[in-house]
Amino acid sequence: MSQQPTFSNLIHLRDFVDSITDDSSKDTPNCIEIHTDINVFEEEGFHSSSITVEPIRTRIHTYLTREEQERYVPNTFFYTDGRFSAAPSDDGTLEINIQTLSLMGYA
């Protein structure tokens, strides 16, 4: 039996929608996943050439009505706040899962 992640940390994210799908972890209508790859940028004084920085696969779990879902097409800019966990995915890459507390999209 796999252990469910603990969503005890908070994150504020601004990014663009890559895709939107039904939430595979829930069997409830209107529960969806927004997929995006978070890009981590180098900051002065907080960077090492020995560290490889790559986009981080991110799944944002939220509830949206069908009408609301129509606003979240690929390349829609959004803000979200939520609880998150980070763990290796099945293919070994880092993946972040977010349970939204708030979500706003801007087409």
pTM of the model: 0.82
Q: Is 22 helix (H, G, I), strand (E, B) or coil?
A: strand
Give the total number of structural domains in the chain.
Answer: 1
pLDDT number for residue 6? 64
Task: Let me know if residue 16 belongs to a domain.
Answer: yes
Task: Let me know if residue 46 belongs to a domain.
Answer: yes
Q: Which domain holds residue 16?
A: 9-106
DSSP secondary structure letters along 46-78:
B--TTS----EEEEEEEE--HHHHTT--TT-EE
Task: Let me know if residue 84 belongs to a domain.
Answer: yes
pLDDT at 19 over 90: yes
Task: Let me know if residue 3 belongs to a domain.
Answer: no
Per-residue pLDDT tens digits for 71-86: 999 999 999 999 999 9
> Which DSSP state fits 38?
E
Q: Check which CATH number belongs to the domain holding 14 and give it.
A: 2.40.50.140
